[in-house]
Amino acid sequence: MHDDRSLVEARLKRVLDERVRPAVYPESVPLEVAVWHAPGEPVPVAEGLAAEPEPIEVGARWGAPWGTSWFRVTGTVPEAWAGRTVEAILDLGFDENMPGFQCEGLVYRPDGTPVKGLNPRNQWVRVAAPAEGGEQVRLHIEAASNPVILDYHPFLPTQLGDKETAGSEPQYTLTRMDLAVFDETVWQLVIDLEVLGELMAELPVESARRWEILRAVDKALDAVDLQNVNATAAAARSRLTGVLATPAAPSAHRISAVGHAHIDSAWLWPLRETVRKVARTTSNMTALLDDEPEFVFAMSQAQQWAWVRDHRPEVWARVKKAVADGRFVPAGGMWVESDTNMPGSEAMARQFVHGKRFFLDEFGIENDEAWLPDTFGFAAGLPQIIKAAGSKYLLTQKISWSQTNKFPHHTFQWEGIDGTRIFTHFPPVDTYNCSMKGSEIAHAARNFKDKGVARHSLAPTGWGDGGGGTTREMVAKAARLRDLEGSATVTWETPRAFFDKAAAEYPEPPVWVGELYLELHRATLTSQARTKQGNRRSEHLLREAELWAATAAVRTGFPYPYEDLDRIWKTVLLHQFHDILPGSSIAWVHREARRTYERVAEELTGIVEAAQRALAGEGGTPLVFNAAPHARTGVPAGGARTPVTPARTILTGRPGGGHVLDNGLLRVEIDARGLVVSAYDIEADRETVAPGRAANLLQLHPDFPNMWDAWDVDEFYRNTVTDLTDADEVVPEGDGVRIVRRFGASRVTQLLSLAPGERRLLVDTEVDWHETEKFLKLAFPLDVHAERYASETQFGHFHRPTHTNTSWEAAKFEACNHRFVHLEEPGWGVAIVNDSTYGHDVTRTVRTDGDGGTTTTVRVSLLRAPRFPDPETDQGVHRFRHALVPGAGIGDAVREGWRINLPERRLTGAGVVEPLVTCDRDAVVITAVKLADDGSGDVVVRFHEAFGGRVRATLTAGFEVADVAVTDLLERPLADARAPRAEDGRIALRLRPFQLVTLRLRRA
């Protein structure tokens, strides 16, 4: 037989594009259209419906950036269409390649009932089936003219990312507003031909199945009258029945399709627009569930569910019904799909507390899985948090974006720092926007790395990022792929059903230990410094507010602010979303975040001050309140008293220029350039700074990644560096030295100080930053030989190598830490702690001159200046605080990390305030002291082993304890946990390395 494959495939493409698809709507009539443009921010639905619109014609421009326009469309179904299916085609000016990234709409009936959302891949609204001739049609569209930020030429700087700078130029052209006859037979033929054509293209050319499909398609096209497709579509479909009915091979890969619409809670749109995006998508999905009995849809992020409940009660009613039917599924059990690298221990725990509690309270549903398809890497402390929240599975696909190394598994056990293992799945379809294309299904089957031992994978199916969800076309394709020869099988299932099957078939999967590092988007650890500082400050203020309010409630009857703390926690958790905290959103988002963090700080400071005043009482005794988990200056953790006054620091001149700071523990030499050339540990008789090098060195790099400006820093940035060594001023100031430098259009002011009695050099840095596409680092070259270093993560720390033996290590050229990094040789180490930065790098070199020793350099990432999506990223004044801690063991690193983030608070009072709860071992770090969320008055204490070893300790309550329970993060007693006894308020503990424990103490 002659090879006519290319001829038939080309024929299929043209006939589909030019004849069959256009015939889905064979007849149409225009609708009358009028529009009212809301003058400012979005208005309530009732106001939009009641507004008096003005006529507008198809072809007219509409929609200022970030505006809202209310369209009213009216028309009459022609008498000739009686008995047929009629739909409204409402094209606001869509580009079908940009679902979620441009204008969108939500359609209402005149009574305010939402119908469905409109987006580039979902432009239809069912009017009647069957229709009645003369039937009147009236619909209202709440249309959002969201500008296109990420265009075909991506990453170009734009002022459209903030309503304050976006201007008023109309963004869209009204394209089509019609009533049309919907020919379902032709539509079904389109799906048949698409599924078979896409499958055919994925099969080997030499396979019999590919040629069988080719012949059937050829015969079907022969049956199509190109001048009368509608009359011949049924005949064409009949010629495809056989090839569509052939079942899949028994060994075929099995895909669980989960309806999905990954909606970024903020990204290239502000939070207020996400509220509407969620309403549009959930309206679409509840409508699709009504039409498609086998379809299942899952939505994560309790915050987004809460938005629907609070802002769109009509949509919420439909959602609740679909949830009750088991087909609209709460997923993930987190407040938002947060970043997991940067949120602190308690914040990461509270993501699950608030997320899971929302779904339990609203629906009585508890999630087994963490659902984070788009998060930029996963911290090593996360597995035990997932388990402590009562969950056991994790899903993500983002690691497939790694640029250097291909992850070796799709289904595996992920082991965290304490040994907890979580059953984890990476969908081999490699997208959270699966659209049921044949290429996607074939890729999933080919790509699946666990062949021979497992057969199941998951495909999140639907348009996401900006929402939209699953379409009727995707559902129709999935129906044909349920059992089709040559393809993986596709079945709609809930996430829980998939995970239960996958875990059952693969009882002993491989194990991956440590962080799941994304070899991409490393700059998200630094971009938008103010957002990151707001998060860090909020986390620690929340700790203080809970601690002091709980202590005051137990001791004085102070009214514990349950509702305020709940609300503030949810605000902070929302801003940990994986495009807000990482700094990858538009200017509008970060402008609002700064204001939100300021309000949070003001409110929490008020709670702290009120509780401390209640505890201090009236009097003139000077008191220091210590919210850190370790004692300092004679003040116990969680208590208040008059501090011990240590000896003073001596400041002298340095021969050759500069200054010397000496407090009897450290002697620090600062040269005339304002650089630290010596940090001498007097007790250990040991120098910290590498020979011939200088610490406190600011370094400036060019920063222009190949793409994803706010997200990425590419390794070649290191090829060019400018050491900022010129100083305008190096002068004494108090017990320290002030340094002023200028570079480019920017200015840096630093204060280096050595507190009396402390083995730490404080580095306070203020940067008035006006650079573009630059990366600012702060370097500490250390005389330490270390093949690895410790980096703090949630509820502990883990180690990364300092070498680059393999591509896996080399790829980690920018990494995340929380409050500290720590390096050591046996018996002596160094810590660098911070109050608000996350990104850093650690490198090592062997000195070829002098002693031949090893220099290990820690560099802290301070600021970047990308121009997309916010062209003014981080312009202005920033303040950072770091400390160099020579002679530090891991315990010192833990203690100093907490200390720099929790400053002492001073006031006068009646006398000593005893801690509510204490522990006698520094290795046990108490991360939360609070009253139970249920209002019972029970005291909840959360703690973990922080040094990485086993420990016996005693927890002592400063109140009479009637009962002790070991609980999960949601403060529910664990059935399989042996509850410790409290004797005279003392509770004996035994903890393994990094073990996380929550105790609930019932007061007598």
Q: What is the DSSP letter of 981?
A: P
The position carrying tokens 């370790």 is 630
- Give the residue from 42, 92, 15 showing the smallest Cα distance to 307: 42
What DSSP letter does each residue of 798-839 carry, written as one string? EEEESS-SSHHHHT-SSEE-SSEEEEEETTEEEEEEESS--E
670 phi/psi in degrees, rounded to 5? -115, 120
Q: Which residues of 713-729 are buried (b: 16+ CB within 10 A; e: fewer)?
A: bbeebeeeeeebeebee
What DSSP letter does each residue of 90-125 carry, written as one string? EESS--TT-TTSS-EEEEE-TTS-EEEEEBTTB-EE
- Give the residue from 67, 265, 159, 63 showing the smallest Cα distance to 588: 159
| CB neighbours of residue 987 within 10 Å | 21
Helices (H), 422-576: 438-447, 472-480, 495-505, 529-556, 562-574
Integer CA distances (angstroms), 375 to 329, 432, 717, in order? 21, 11, 24
Query: Of these residues, 162, 374, 681, 703, which one is catalytic?
Result: 374
State the Cα–Cα distance between residues 43 and 369, nearest whole angstrom: 37
What DSSP letter does each residue of 535-550 carry, written as one string? HHHHHHHHHHHHHHHH
Give the 3-state secondary structure of residue 876.
Answer: strand
- The verdict on whether 374 is a catalytic residue reads yes
Q: What is the DSSP letter of 897?
A: H
- Give the residue from 335, 344, 279, 351 showing the smallest Cα distance to 68: 279
Task: Report whether 183 contacts 81 (CB < 8 A).
Answer: no
What DSSP letter does each residue of 169-197 carry, written as one string? ---EE--EEEEEE--HHHHHHHHHHHHHH
State the Cα–Cα distance between residues 629 and 943, nearest whole angstrom: 10
- Which tokens go with 801? 């190598």
- Which tokens go with 394? 């994790």
668 phi/psi in degrees, rounded to 5? -115, 125
Integer CA distances (angstroms), 967 to 66, 90, 420, 827, 1004, in order? 46, 53, 17, 38, 19
Integer CA distances (angstroms), 49 to 37, 329, 676, in order? 12, 31, 67
- Which tokens go with 50? 């009641």
Is residue 293 reached through a cis peptide bond, with omega within 30 degrees of 0 on the bond before it? no
Strands 820-825 and 986-991: unpaired
- Give the residue from 657, 597, 873, 900 showing the smallest Cα distance to 764: 900
Give the 3-state secondary structure of residue 923.
Answer: coil
Catalytic machinery residues: 374
